[in-house]
């Protein structure tokens, strides 16, 4: 189904798509920051937040895991930036879909973006309670939001594959969150299971940003095909 949005709406969707695609910096930042470690960094033994830890020493306190991230400031900035772009994208693409569930799903995704910002502003070793809250918002709200958005696209013309992807991404993230919280890592280690829980949302924003951006580009200046 096609509709004719105002030019400002089309522009907002395009900018929102770009904001979501910018989530790729979150993954690039991790690669760069972990490369600066002089002690071993493990994707299975280290938390993502260890990259933003501002001191050197065992973490959690008393554990055998030694954390020392020289470029922690860059990682914490990356957390805050990805959270901001997730929120911005959610606000700008809100007119791309008409289903009422879309609004609720976007609100949950934006809330997860706030979680990313909290993680960046409050490193794990500096102020753990807001850091923990931010991580919980990201894991739970972000993954539920994807599933809700997927459900809103099931009946959309041309949107079923993206609906299935969104639902699957959210469900995988929620299952991983449950396993992570209950201490069941399935051989992936605590860091590996945390990543399975945390990565679905930023990966989803990149994919959906590309989808929405392509739809805007492939339409005429006054006729944008939307999933609805």
User: For residue 224, is it within any domain?
Assistant: no
Task: Give, in degrees to the nearest 5, the angle at Cα 31 between 26 and 37.
Answer: 125
User: For residue 132, is it within any domain?
Assistant: yes
> For 186, left (φ over 0), alpha (ψ -120 to 50), or beta?
left
- Domain tally for the chain? 1
User: For residue 128, is it within any domain?
Assistant: yes
166-181 residue pLDDT tens: 999 999 999 999 999 9
Q: Rounded to two decimals, what is the model's pTM?
A: 0.90
User: For residue 225, is it within any domain?
Assistant: no
pLDDT along the chain (228 residues), means of 10: 57 92 98 95 96 95 91 98 97 77 89 98 97 97 95 75 94 98 96 98 96 70 42
User: For residue 227, is it within any domain?
Assistant: no
Q: Which domain holds residue 60?
A: 2-218
Are 100 and 163 within 8 A, CB to CB?
A: no
- Beta strands in the chain, from DSSP E residues, in sequence order: 2-3, 57-58, 66-67, 224-225
User: For residue 228, is it within any domain?
Assistant: no
User: For residue 226, is it within any domain?
Assistant: no
Q: At 2, phi and psi to the nearest 5?
A: -115, 150
82-97 residue pLDDT tens: 999 999 999 999 877 6
């Amino acid at each position: 189904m096609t509709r004719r949005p105002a030019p400002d709406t089309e522009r907002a969707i395009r900018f929102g798509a770009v904001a979501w695609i910018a989530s790729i910096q979150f993954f690039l930042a991790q690669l760069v920051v972990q490369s600066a470690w002089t002690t071993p960094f493990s994707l299975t033994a280290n938390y993502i937040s260890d990259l933003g830890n501002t001191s050197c020493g065992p973490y959690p306190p008393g554990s055998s895991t030694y954390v020392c991230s020289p470029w922690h400031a860059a990682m914490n900035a990356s957390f805050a930036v990805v959270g901001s772009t997730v929120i911005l994208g959610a606000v700008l693409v809100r007119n791309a879909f008409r289903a009422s569930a879309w609004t609720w799903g976007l609100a949950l995704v934006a809330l997860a973006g706030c979680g990313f910002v909290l993680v960046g502003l409050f490193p794990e070793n500096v102020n753990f309670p807001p850091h923990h809250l931010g991580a919980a918002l990201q894991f739970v709200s972000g993954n539920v939001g994807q599933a809700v958005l997927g459900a809103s696209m099931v009946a959309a013309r041309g949107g079923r594959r993206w609906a299935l992807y969104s639902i699957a991404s959210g469900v995988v993230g929620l299952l991983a969150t449950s396993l992570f919280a209950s201490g069941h890592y399935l051989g992936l280690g605590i860091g590996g299971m945390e990543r399975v829980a945390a990565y679905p949302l930023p990966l989803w924003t990149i994919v959906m940003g590309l989808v929405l951006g392509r739809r805007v580009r492939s339409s005429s200046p006054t006729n944008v095909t939307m999933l609805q």
